[in-house]
Each structure stands twice: as structure tokens, then as C-alpha cells.
Amino acid sequence: MARGQQAEQQRSDRDEQPEFLERLVGINRVAKVVKGGRRFGFAALVIVGDGKGRVGHGHAKAREVPEAIKKATEQAKRKMIRVPLRDGRTIHHDVKGRHGAGRVLLRSAPKGTGIIAGGPMRAVFEALGIQDVVAKALGSNNPYSMVNATFAALEAMQSPRHVAARRNKKIGDVVSGREEGRDAPASAAQNEADDE
């Protein structure tokens, strides 16, 4: 008896510890054709995140809506990925993602921009904890394709720390090289103006 209570206590502690944000993106009514006719059920698409750089998505079917949502949420929690964020509010660099006919473009944005994205992509960014981003769906507007394309883009995201480690350089070398590249055209124009 004590062992059962202990296991239940551990289970409830595990469920309570990480406070996840859950976003229901879509519910579809689906049908399975069987010998006696059609059996109707529901499919749910759910986004789950901790608001601090971890996010996951899940898709599940069941005979009732709450059961489908619960199954999708559990699947999303199992499939969470970690995304590096700049200053804890935006993405490090512009990136494209693709899944089937769904194509998305994600761009980093200055502070105060907010989340400029539609439908399913907004749910992903809110669950992830991104505060400033500009996103555009270029292909299909099917929620499943958009969510999968957004996750493909987020998985392709690389932080300066990761790039520096891969190149055996210091983070300052990677970041300063990027900023010097941006300043170079302005300085070249300045030199031309000085010559005249």
C-alpha cells in the first residue's frame, strides 16, 4: 500500500514540477470506415512549451475530444526540443523551414516588435517563450505543415556558442566577424565620400 502511494506521489510531483504552456492548434473530426459504416473520432494538434526555450508538438486521435487532447499533449511533452534564444526573447538569425508544401521564414526582430506571426506559428512562439519575431508562411496554410515547417526551422537554428565550438574559435570571433561584415559597406561608402 505504501509503495502505491509513494509511486503516486512521485507521479504527481513529476507532473507538477515543470509548468508547461499548452496551446491547442486544431481539432479535426475524422472518420474510420468499418464494415458496419463509419466510426467518428477526433484528431488534435497541440503545442507544449516551458516558455524558456523548450517546445514540442503532438498529434493524436481518439473517440472523444478531451482524450485526443490529452494524448497529443503527452506526445508533445515526449518530443520536446531545446531552441537557443538571443537575450531570452528572439531567435539568433533568420532561418527558413520546410515540410512538405509548408514553407516558413523566421526573422529575428528588435526589442518591442512582438510576435508577428499567424495562427499555428504564433502558438509555437508563445509556448517557446519568444517575445520578438517576424514570421511568414510562404507555402501551405495547413496547420500540420506549418507547425512541422516551423519546427524544422527552429531545429536548424544555431547559437553563436555552438558555431564557435564547431569551428574551434572563440564566441567573440564569430560574433565580431558578423558585425564587421555589416559595418564594412558603410565604411567603404564613408571612404569614397572622404576621397571626394
Distance CA 27, CA 144 (A): 11
Distance CA 77, CA 59 (A): 11
Is 91 part of a structural domain of the chain?
A: yes
Residue 35 has pLDDT above 50, yes or no: yes
Give the residue with greater pLDDT, 15 vs 65.
65
Is 181 part of a structural domain of the chain?
A: no
Q: Which of 81, 98, 126 is the last residue of a domain?
A: 81
Domain interval for residue 35: 2-81
> 3-state DSSP helix/strand/coil percent for the chain, to nearest 5?
45, 30, 25
Residue 44 has pLDDT above 70, yes or no: yes
Residue type (1 letter), 107: R
Q: Tell me, what's the pLDDT at 175? A: 74
Is 172 part of a structural domain of the chain?
A: no
Give the residue with greater pLDDT, 18 vs 97.
97
Least confident window among 43-52, 73-82, 182-191: 182-191
Same-domain status, 33 and 65: yes
